[in-house]
A and B are shown apart, each in its own frame.
Chain A
Amino acid sequence: MNHSEERAQAWREVLRKGMKAKERTDIPRVHMPELDAEYRSHSRLEEVNLGLTAEMAMQEAKRCLDCANPTCMLGCPVGIDIPRFVKNIERGEFLEAAKALKETSALPAVCGRVCPQEKQCESQCIHLKMKKEAVAVGHLERFAADYERESGNISVPTVAPANNIKIAAVGSGPAGLAFAGDMAKLGYEVVVFEALHEIGGVLKYGIPEFRLPNDIVDVEIQNLQAMGVHFVTNCVVGKTISIKDLEDDGFKGIFVASGAGLPRFMNIKGENLVGVMSSNEYLTRVNLMDAANPDSDTPVFKGKKVAVIGGGNTAMDSVRTARRLGAERAIIVYRRSEEEMPARLEEVKHAKEEGIDFMTLHNPIEYIGNEQGRVTHMLLQVMKLGEPDASGRRSPVEIPGKTELIEVDEVVVSVGVSPNPLIPQSVEGLEVTKWGTVVVNNDTMQSAVPIIFAGGDIVRGGATVILAMGDGRKAAAAMDEWIKK
C-alpha cells in the first residue's frame, strides 16, 4: 500500500478525527529524558539519551496531524512512511510502527539516534510553518525500534528460498549491512568481507557508545546472521583477496561499501608532534580497541587540555570522548560560526551541557611542542565570516594579524575524511572522481565495471548513515534485477 491508501484506512481516519488539529499543535514537543550532564561527562559508555516512555511517545505521536501531503516524507532521504509509523504509535501498536519503519529502513534504531533529523524529516514538518516545534520524528523512530528489540519480538524477515547465487559485500558499515539484509531476503548467498576485526564500520569504530550503544548494532548483525548472511572479518579486499579472486570464486555481484576511512590533515607546522592525531585514530583507539578500559592493551592519551579541530559529528564525538576521559578543558576549534556547523544540533547541545568550550571563528595555523616533541600550545588565527561560498555557507576569512596562542596537551584533527583508495586503485576500469569517490549510475548504483556496484561513503564522500543505508538497499534491488537478466 502506498501512503494515501494507508492513510485512508479506517483506523487512521478514526484516529485523525478523534482530536482537533489545534489541540494537537498545542501539545508541547516532548523532551527526551537524558542523563545528567555533569554525571555523563564522566561516564564513557552510558547512553546520554534515555529514550521516551510509552506514554511520552503516544503523547508526542498525537502532535502529528497525519497530513494528506506529508512533507516530512520528502525530507527523509529514503522516504519512510512517517505518518504511518507515528500513527501506529499513537494508537499503541508499537510493533506495527516498527514494522512500518523496517519496510523502508534497515536500521531504524540506529537512524533514530544518529540521523540529522533537524535537516531532514523534521525540517519539513508542517508544525514549523505554524511557528511550532517539529514532531520529534527521530525520537519516535528510536522508540518504536527499541520497543520492538526489547520486546523480544523482533520480526526476522522471511527469506526467499535459496537461489544459490553468491554475492559479496565489501565493508560492513551501514551500506554493506543494508545491502546484505535485502539480498538475503531475496534468497541470495551473501558474504560480507570486513577489513577490521569487528563488524559495523563507523557504527562501531567511529560513533561512541554514549551516542550509539554497540548492543544495538550487534542485534542488527545477529539478525542478518539469522537470515544466513556470512561475515568474514580480517579480510581486506584488494589485499587479502582481490575482486578477481571473488569473481573466480563464483561471486556474481560485488557491492563495494568500503566507506571514507582516510583521515585528512591540514598540513600545518607541528601537525606531526606527539599528541596531535586524527579523530579516526583517537576514536578507533577508544571505541574499536577499547583503549580507555584498563584491561585493554592499546594505549590512549588522556589529555587534560584537549582541542578538537572541526565542527562535524566526528569532532563532537571526539571532544565529548576527551571530556569523558578526563579532560579539564575540552575545546571545539571551528573556523566558521556555530550556525555553519555540520554536526547534528542535538550533539552540539549535549556538548555544551557537558562543559565543552566552543572557539568558533578560530583556525589553527601552527602547533608548538616541547623538547620531547609533545604538543604544548597551538597558534590560532582569528577569523570572521565573509561572503557565502560554494557550499552556500558564509566562508571564513582571516582577520589579518589577529592570532591567539592557547595551551593544549592533546589535539584531535577532525577536518574530514576521504574515500578509501584501496579498491578504486586495485580494480581496472572503475571510474573514479578526482576526490577518489567511485562513479556509479545514481539509479542502480552500478559502476563502470558491471559486476561491481557501490554505495555509501565510497560513492558520496563522508555522508550519513541513512544515505549509506539507502544506497545499500537501492543497490540490492538493482543488482537482483541485473543478475536475473
Chain B
Amino acid sequence: MNKIISKEYFSANVIKFEVEAPLIAKSRKAGHFVMVKVGLKGERIPLTIADADLQKGTITLVVQKMGVSSTKLCALEVGDYITDMVGPLGRATHIEKFGTVVCACGGVGTAPMMPIVAALKAAGNKVITVLAARSKDLIILEDQMRVNSDEVIVMTDDGSYGTKGLVTNGIESVINREKVDLCVTIGPAIMMKFVSMLTKKYEVPTLASLNTIMVDGTGMCGACRVSVGGKTKFVCVDGPEFDAHLVDFDEMLMRLGGYRDIEREEMANFSKQ
C-alpha cells in the first residue's frame, strides 16, 4: 500500500503522481521502473520512475491514460493508496558523458524519457529532446522537458504545433546539422522502429527503451520477451533499454498487439460501468 501525496494534471490524460515509497526512492536510478497494481483484481502494469525525493521518501510517476489499468490509477486522488507497488525494476540506464545526445520520444514514451533526459544532462551531455505527436493537443510534458534539455524540438504530423513532420524528420535535422553521439528513443514500437532505421543509416548508436507487455516484471514469466540480435531477452530484467539496431521491432509490434482485442473489450466494459 503506497499513499499518494500529490497529483497534478499535465493534460487531461497525463497525470503526475508523487507516491510514498521510501525504499524505492532510495535505491532507484534513471531508467528503473515499478510494477503497479490498483485494486485487488487489478493488473500489474509497468511505470517508469520519473523522479524521486529522498527527503520525503517519495517517487514520481507520470501516467498516461491508455486502457483500464492506467485509467483506474489516474482516478486515484491525494490520500488514496495504490494497492501494490514493487521496484525499482529493470536495469538502470547507462549514464555517462557521451557528448551530444538526441532524446526522441512520442506518446507513451514521453514520461519514461524524463528521468533519462535529467540524468544525461546532469552527466554533462548536450541534450536535444525531440517531442513528437499527431497534433498539438497530444504534445505533453514540453515544459518539464525544457528544464533539462538544451533544446526541445517539437514535431507534429499535421503541423498544428512546432514543425510539421515526423519524429524522424526532427532527428534527421539535428544529425544533418551537428555530430550526434547517441540517440535514445522511447515511444510506440512503430516509432522506435523508424527511429532505429534512420539512425542506423547515419551510424548513430541508439538505445531504445522497450515498453513490452509485462506480467510480473521480475523475470518470472517471459511475457516481455523480445529478440535482440537474434537472442531472446526479457525486457524486465535484461532491459528495458537495448541497442535499437539489434531489436526485432516487427516481432515486438506483433507481440504488443497480442491482447488488443481483449483489452478493447475490457475498456468497453469498464467505460460502461
Contact = CB atoms under 8 A, between A and B. Distances in A.
Interface in B72-96: 72, 83-89
B232 interface: yes
B218 A265 contact: no
Interface string A60-85: 00000000000000000000000000
A473 interface: no
Interface stretch (B40-48, B100-108, B138-146): B40-48
- Summarize A's interface: helix, strand, loop or mixed: loop
A195 B258 CA distance: 27
Interface string B232-244: 1000010000000
A154 interface: no
Contacts of A271: 232
Contacts of A301: 262
B216 A297 contact: no
Contacts of B227: 272
Nearest to B231: A267
Nearest to A291: B43
Interface in B156-177: none
Contacts of B223: 277, 281
Interface stretch (B10-18, B188-196, B249-257): B249-257
B220 A263 contact: yes
A230 to B, nearest CB: 15
A263 B86 CA distance: 21
Contact of B221 (A197, A235, A263, A373): A263
A262 interface: yes
A274 B262 contact: no
B266 interface: yes
A31 interface: no
Contact of B23 (A241, A267, A372, A374): A241
B27 interface: yes
Interface in B247-273: 251, 254-255, 257-259, 262-263, 266
A278 B86 contact: no
B84 A234 contact: yes
Contacts of B221: 263, 277-278, 280-281, 284
Contacts of B27: 239-242
Given A289-B44, A295-B41, A297-B43, A195 B232 contact: no
A213 B86 CA distance: 26
B65 to A, nearest CB: 14
Interface string B25-44: 00100000000010101111
Counting contact residues on chain B (CB < 8 A from A), the size range is: 35 or more
A293 interface: yes
A123 to B, nearest CB: 32
B220 A235 contact: no
A381 interface: no
Contact of B89 (A239, A241, A293, A420): A239
Interface residues of A, number: 42
Nearest to B225: A272
Given A239-B89, A274-B258, A298-B43, A420 B23 contact: no
B222 interface: yes
Contacts of B219: 261-262, 420-422
B215 A263 contact: no
A261 B220 contact: yes
B69 interface: yes
Interface string A126-141: 0000000000000000
A234 B86 contact: yes
B216 A196 contact: yes
Contacts of B85: 234
A272 B88 contact: no
Interface string A293-329: 1011111010000000000000000000000000000
A195 B218 contact: yes
B24 interface: yes
Interface string A228-272: 000001111001111000000000000000000111010100011
Given A263-B222, A280-B221, 15 more contacts: A239-B89, A261-B218, A265-B232, A272-B226, A278-B221, A280-B220, A280-B222, A281-B223, A289-B44, A297-B39, A297-B68, A297-B266, A372-B254, A373-B257, A422-B218
